[in-house]
Structure 1
Amino acid sequence: MTPKDETPARVGVFGLLGSGNLGNDGSLEAVLRYLRAEHPEAVVDALCGGPEAVTARFGIPATRLHWYRGEYRTASRAAAIAGKGVGKLVDVYRTAAWVRRHDVVIVPGMGVLEATLPLRPWGFPYSLFLLCASGRLLGTRVALVSVGAARIKSRPTRALVRWSARLAAHRSYRDAQSRDAMRAMGVDTARDEVYPDLAFFLPAPRASEPTGTRGTVCLGVMDFHGGNDDRARAEEIYRRYLDGTITFVRTLVAEGRPVRLLTGDECDLSVVEAILDAVDSPLVTAAEPASLADLMHEMAAADTVVAVRYHNLICALKTGTPVLALSYAAKSEALMERMGVGAYCHPAREVDADRLLEQFRELEKHAAEVRQTLAERNRVATDQLAQQFTALTTTLFPANSHAHAPRKAR
């Protein structure tokens, strides 16, 4: 409880939350679980991409991240371009005013320090810089918690990301290569720690016991066109990824295997529709997950998972279901390696259906030992995240630090 003479901590959460990306919202859910367990007196609200969705789902007040509502739509007309420009100036004051109302602002996970997917410097990197600069100027502690980072070639984006990290009061990363990337971009990371992704703190259903018969394969899809450096060949990358995936699904269906298509973001629905159109079979069905919990329930019931999106992989790993990663960035390979299944990765930019099938069959052959490995690594990940939250309490809430660790997710 908070002493009567002590004002409850005012905590803000920040990011592209409530915008349709299940992984981002899962990271927020993990942080809110921590705050509600360890700091129930804290007054929490959000500055985010989808405030209505965040309030409806998580029950906290939320403010729209951008003044200009068309921020992430392509601007071709003069009015739209002017609107974006004015919005950038208005957001300076809006962000500072929001930050000023808080003692602490937490950026929960997400790849906020990377550009592995198409990204413009004046989009989210600019917003993150405004947040961190406002925090430093106004005395509000900004914490980047278990975030992802990667070396960035674009000079404007790299500069914004570097200064955002430097201005934050606390930084931790979801893998060692993220910390290495920030060090390579000129950030002093000597006191920064590495912990697992926040989604590993969420509760997960137990994976179904193998029945001895070949059951459902969950296929996590993605509207994948490469990253920031692949814009010139984006359509070629997408076509190769989609064609290879369709061939993979057709082969499974020919063998009588049920295939369950899963998304991780609203934009992935177009890929689901393309696969359903190309493979006309009752064995191929699609789910509409609304959260990481929904994804985990789907994957826990499957024999095997093949997935692209980073948090789809985490859901499979968390449930202990054997998973093969269609890797679109080094972070996926680092995640699989950390969980002891680094051999089961296939490049999303260069999908080779024959090689993919070969790796899939090898994974199923060793499914029992994979499940055992994942059970052991999940215990370690949960313990490490509990340690992070204890450290976070000491750093961000020194007046009411607890001697005990946060409750572990089951």
Structure 2
Amino acid sequence: MTMDTVKPPRRARTTVSLFGNFGTHNLGNEYTLQAIIHNVHKYLPQAKVNCICTSPREVTASHEVPAFPISDRLVKAPAGEERRGGNGAVAKFIRRLLVRLPRELARWVEAFRALKGTRMLVMTGTGMLGDFGIGPFDLHYEILKWSLLAKARRSKLLFVSVGAGPIAHPLSRLIVQWALSLADYRSYRDDFSKHYLASIGFDTQNDFVYPDLAFSLKPELPGPSRRDGGGRVVGLGLMDYYGNDPTGNSSEATYQQYLEKVTTFLAWLLERKYTVRLLIGDATYDTRIRGDVVKKLQERAFRYDERQIVDEPVGSVEELIDQLAATDAVVATRFHNLVLALMLNKPVVALSYHEKIASLMAGAGMAEYCQSIHGLEVDSLVQQFVKLEQNSQILKSSLEQTVEKYRETLDRQYVRIFRDEVELEQRPDGRNGTGTDG
């Protein structure tokens, strides 16, 4: 065979695996996943994308990418399903030794197979490095497991614009630091996350801070913004808030205090003839609050025009964006309600239950419109809202510039993390030393 007839080696397509708590109807997380999928295709148009997530079936249906489970351990058993086996200490030990250990080894093998051909495993944004409702052997253990397996596959491991802290459990701290130490690239979505990790002994000196990944995807509206009547429309973003116990134990008393105060603020808005859209950010978790605030108004015998409250179901991030677009200002609790509102150039007041919200608002130049949810004072909230309304036009101009700056900054991060793969796609053979297929 002559040299003229020798075919060049077929170029291997880059495979990027995206890891995170996706498919669970947390609408902020779903938008984060949309954003990075969009940008992988933008910067690596030939790349294959898959997702390692909590609910693969939901992710494949919503985002049209192949998906694998993080672990079947994270899928809860149906309510009322009885556990098998005895409850004694000896029985538990035997069950763990004979059943759980072999099963977990099988999960490691399945995860290793899922990473076949992966050149980049991206730990994708979100607050995955905090321990609110997460034990050491839940998501943090899985992050470490998949990180170790990525390195075994000789894949690049990247933590991209992740949120971190607080982490109360000492073992969780060790697991998180171990996983981070394996990374080829690390960036955090705010200064708090970077400084927090440094405060618990992890070296972040060479790490980066970039905005939340959601800012890298400009929202697409289906049509002209819907208006609810002729007056001003306020989006009131609510949450089934039970407190910040890191063990995830809920406090009904905390919820009732939050309910009382947001209902009082809602009544104040209605008295002043605002139309109020009730918003949520997690279609699975936030199941009580919208109905409870309306019920609380009725218990108080508060009279208002029913058309002043708009309470529409939301099952997707597109529906949430459409609802936010129909507002003039937003007062919200959930992080990504605030992020999406800022992206839509809506002046916002934040009810902060976590340092990430205070960091978000400070970065957007909105620190004076942020109030801690702990010890929330309705009078102060009213004052902040009145000031927000007075400065609305100035704030909108400033927010537009800030959001555009965030998008440009995130573009630079994508260039940074995908540079090697872009060069690889442009090479004739497309080969490198990562992502073994064995």
Q: Structure 2 length normalisation: TM-score?
A: 0.83
120-129 or 83-92: bigger deviation: 83-92
The one of 245, 252, 255 equivalent to 1:238 is: 255
User: 1:282 deviation in Å?
Assistant: 3.5
Deviation for aligned residue 1:63: 1.6
Single out whichever of 90-99 and 27-36 deviates more from structure 2. Answer: 90-99
1:282 aligns to what SS in structure 2? helix
**2:184 pairs with one of 146, 153, 169:** 169
Q: Does 1:108 align with 2:124?
A: yes
Contact in 2 for aligned 1:219/1:260 (Cα 8 Å) = yes
Q: Take 1:215 and 1:318, find their aligned partners in 2: how far apart are those partners? A: 19
- Where does residue 120 of structure 1 map in the other structure? 135
Q: Does the CA contact (< 8 Å) of 1:96 and 1:130 recur in 2?
A: no
Cα distance, 1:401–1:252 mapped onto 2, change above 3 Å = farther
In structure 1, what is the equivalent of residue 406 of structure 2? 381
Are 1:221 and 2:246 an aligned pair? no
Q: 1:72 to 1:382 in 2, by over 3 A?
A: farther
Three-state SS of the structure 2 residue aligned to 1:159 is: helix
RMSD after superposition: 2.9
Answer whether contact 1:246 1:278 (CA < 8 A) is retained: yes
Summarize the Cα distance change of 1:101–1:5 in structure 2 as closer, same or farther, 3 Å threshold.
Answer: closer
| Deviation string, structure 1 residues 242-293 (Cα, Å, up to 9, x no partner) | 1111111122122222111111112112111212322353322223334434
Q: Which runs of 5+ in 1 are unaligned?
A: 403-410
Take 1:172 and 1:225, find their aligned partners in 2: how far apart are those partners? 30
For residue 188 of structure 1, what is the aligned residue in structure 2?
203
Identity %: 28
- Aligned to 2:136, the other structure's residue is in SS state coil
229, 254, 259: which one aligns with 2:276: 259
SS in 2 for 1:145: strand
Q: Do 1:162 and 1:185's aligned partners in 2 also have CA atoms closer than 8 Å?
A: no
* Stretches of structure 2 lacking an aligned partner (at least 5 in a row): 1-7, 86-91, 299-305, 428-438
The alignment of Structure 1 onto Structure 2 pairs a total of residues equal to: 399
205, 213, 223: which one pairs with 1:198? 213
1:269 matches 2:293: no
Question: Hey, what's the Cα distance between the residues in 2 that align with 1:121 and 1:230?
Answer: 11
Alignment of 1:29-178 (within 5 A): 29-68=34-73, 70-71=75-76, 78-79=83-84, 85=100, 88-115=104-131, 117-178=132-193
SS in 2 for 1:114: coil
Counterparts in 2 of 1:274 and 1:88: CA distance versus 1, 3 Å: farther
**Corresponding residue for 1:367?**
392
The 8 Å contact of residues 216 and 303 in structure 1, kept in 2 or not, is answered as yes
Residue 300 (structure 1) aligns with:
325
- The aligned residue for residue 247 of structure 1 is 264
Q: Kindly tell me: are residues 231 and 135 of structure 1, through their superposed partners in 2, closer, same or farther at Cα, counting changes over 3 Å?
A: closer
Contact 2:225 2:322 in 1 (8 A): no
Deviation for aligned residue 1:382: 0.9
- 8 A Cα contact 2:54 2:71, kept in partner: yes
2:367 aligned residue (333, 342, 352): 342
Deviations 1:116-140 (A, max 9, x none): x322121111111111111223311
Q: How does the TM-score come out when normalised to structure 1?
A: 0.89
Partners of 2:144 and 2:42 in 1: how far apart?
A: 30
Aligned residue type for 2:288: S
Mapped partners of 1:356, 1:134: distance in 2? 48
Native 8 Å contact 1:151 1:185 kept in 2 = no
CA apart distance, 1:79: 3.0
Aligned counterpart in structure 2 of residue 323 of structure 1, from 348, 357, 375? 348
Conserved 8 A contact 1:12-1:44: yes
Letter in 1 for 2:47: A
Q: Which amino acid aligns with 2:125?
A: G
Amino acid at match of 1:222: M
Deviations 1:342-365 (A, max 9, x none): 100111232222221121111111
Between structure 1 and structure 2, the one with the greater Rg is 2
Q: Which residue of 2 aligns with 1:405?
A: none
The answer as to whether partners of 1:304 and 1:322 remain within 8 angstroms in 2 is yes
CA distance in 2 between counterparts of 1:12 and 1:233 reads 34
